[in-house]
Chain A
C-alpha cells in the first residue's frame, strides 16, 4: 500500500471506509454476543443443550421409523387382514373419516357463529361508525382480550362448564374467532366508502339502517373471504382441540399417540393432512371467485 502515492482525498475515503467497516464489525459482534447470551440463557432455563439435543436425536429417528407403515409390495393391494397392505394400514379409515367430517363441521359451526357475533360487534369497534367513545373502547379491548387467550385454554375451561364433548370445543373456537374476526372486520369497515352511509343517514335512515344498507353491501365480499380464511385456520384448531376432550379427531389422535399404536399415527396424521389440504384448496378457489367477482376488492 505504501508503495503508492495516494492523494489526500483517497486517503480520507480509505479512512472513512475503514471506520465504517470497524463500526459494522463491532455492531455484528455485539449482535452475536447478545444472541449467544440469549441462547445460553434459554438453554439454561429450559435445560436443553446441545448434548441433550444430540442424545435425543437417535430416539426421534427411531420413533419416526416405528411410525412408518410396514408396507410390502407383494401384499400392497390385499385386504385389511393381510399385513403389509394399504388396507391394513388404514384399517379404520371409515371411523376416522367420520371423525374428520365431525371435526370439519365443528370448525364450520364455530366459524359461522363466531363470525356472526364478530360482525355484530365490529360495527361498534370501527372508528368511523362508533356510537360513543366508551362503547368503542369497551368493544375493542374486549375483542383484544378474547383473542389473546389461546383456544385450547378456553377448551380446557369449557370442558368443565359444558362437559366433555364437541360443544366445549365449538364454543372455545368460536370465542377465539370472535376476538380475531372482530378486529379484522372492523378494520375492513373502517376502510369502507362513507358516501353511501351519508346518503342513508341523510334520507332519514337510522344507525342500524346505515350499517345494513350502506356498509354491509360494500364490505360483504371481503368479510366472507376473511371468514373462509378463518375457517381454514379453525379446521386445524379443531383437529387438536380434542386433546383436552373437546371433540373431533383430536381425541383419537391423542389415544393413538399416547398408547403407541405406531402405524395408526401415520395413517391418521396423513388423513388429517389430506383433509386440511383439500379444504384449503377448496376455500382458496372460493375466495378467489369471490374477490374476482367483486373487482378484486
Chain B
C-alpha cells in the first residue's frame, strides 16, 4: 500500500502537492496579507477589548430599539418620508431632462466632433466620481438647509451618469429608421424626432425610473447633512438616543424603498418588456 502511494506520487507529483514555486508564492501572499492586516489593525486601533465593549453597547442599543415606536412626532416622520420621495422624484426628473440633450451631444452618431465628445465624457465622469452626500453638503452651504439642496445634489450626482447611458442608448439605436425619414425628405431634426426618439424614449424612461429607485435610497440619507427628508429626523433621533423611534424610522424607510422599487419595477417592465436580469 505504502509503496503504491509512493509510486503514484513519483509518477504524478502534481496530484499530491503543488509545485514548490507555487507553494512559496502562496506562503508569501499569506504572509503579506497577515502583515497588512496587522498594520491595519494597529492603524485603526482595533483590539478585541474595543470590539467586545462595542458589541456590548450595540446589544444595549438593539435592546432599546424594541419595540419600535413612532414617538409623539409621527406626523413629522411621515412628512419626512414624503419629502425624501419627492426630492428623489424631482432630482431624477431634472437630471433626466438635462441628460436628454447631453446624451444626444455625447452620442457618436449624432455629433461628429470627436474632441468635443471626448472632453464632454471626461467631464461627465468627473461628476460621477463625487458622492451625492458631498454634493448635498456643498449645496446646503450654497442654498441653505432644506430639500432644495437635496434635489440639487441628486440632480448633480446623476445627470452625468444618465447622460452617458442615454448617449449609449442613442448609439445603439437602429439606423434604418433615420435613413427612412431622411430618404422621405425629412430634415435632420425630423429624423431625430421620428427616427431616433421613438426607439430610445422607452429605454430613457426605464433608466430614469431605475435611477428614481436608487435615488429614493440616497434621498433618505441626504438629510443627515441637512438636505431635507427623513435623514434629518433619523440623525436627530440618534443624537438624542431615542432608539425606539430610530428603529421605527428605519423600518418605515425600508418599507418605502421597497414599495417604490416594486412600483417602478412594474412600470419599467411595462415600458421595456420582460428582460433577463443582469446580475
Contact = CB atoms under 8 A, between A and B. Distances in A.
Partners in one complex: yes
Q: Which 9 A-B pairs have the closest CB atoms?
A: A162-B54, A63-B142, A161-B57, A42-B86, A46-B147, A46-B86, A273-B129, A161-B58, A45-B86
B90 A43 contact: yes
Contacts of A236: 129, 131
A1 interface: no
A165 B221 contact: no
B61 A247 contact: no
A67 B241 CA distance: 36
B165 interface: no
B242 to A, nearest CB: 12
Interface stretch (A10-18, A53-61, A74-82, A126-134): A53-61
Interface residues of A, number: 61
Nearest to A149: B250
Given A152-B221, A158-B58, A41 B86 contact: yes
Contact of B89 (A42, A167, A170): A42
B178 interface: no
Nearest to A62: B142
B33 to A, nearest CB: 9
Interface of B is mostly: helix
Contacts of B83: 45-46
B86 A184 contact: no
A243 B226 CA distance: 12
Given A39-B89, A48-B86, A167-B50, 12 more contacts: A42-B86, A48-B87, A53-B151, A64-B142, A148-B258, A153-B221, A156-B238, A162-B57, A165-B44, A240-B133, A257-B134, A272-B129
Q: Which of A45, A187, A277 has the most CB of B within 10 A?
A: A45
A166 B40 CA distance: 11
B181 to A, nearest CB: 18
A284 to B, nearest CB: 13
B82 interface: yes
A257 B130 contact: no
Contact of A239 (B79, B131, B150, B225): B131
Contacts of B57: 160-162
B132 to A, nearest CB: 9
Given A56-B148, A236-B131, A153 B142 contact: no
A276 B225 CA distance: 22
Q: Pick the most buried of B51, B151, B221: most chain A CB atoms within 10 A of its CB.
A: B221
